Amino acid sequence: MIIMLAIITMLLSRFFCLHINHLQIVNYSKNS
């Protein structure tokens, strides 16, 4: 149970980081 929670949080954090990076890339391309 704890292992599943750890895996889920790891996947969510990884997806969240990728999402933030994508938004930064979009904003950067819009500015330039």
Residue 29 CA from chain centroid, whole number: 19
The beta strand positions in 1-32, using DSSP E, are none
- Note the residue count of the chain: 32
Q: Per the structure block, which two tokens stand in for 28?
A: 């950067």
- Within 10 Å of residue 24's Cβ, how many Cβ atoms? 10
| Mean pLDDT score across all residues of the chain | 90
Report pLDDT digits (tens) over 6-18: 999 999 999 988 8
The residue type of 29 is S
Q: Is the pLDDT of residue 30 over 80?
A: yes
Q: Check residue 25 and give its pLDDT.
A: 84
Question: With pLDDT > 70 as the criterion, what percentage of the chain qualifies?
Answer: 100
- pLDDT band of residue 23 (cuts 50, 70, 90) is confident
Q: What is the mean pLDDT of residues 18-30?
A: 86
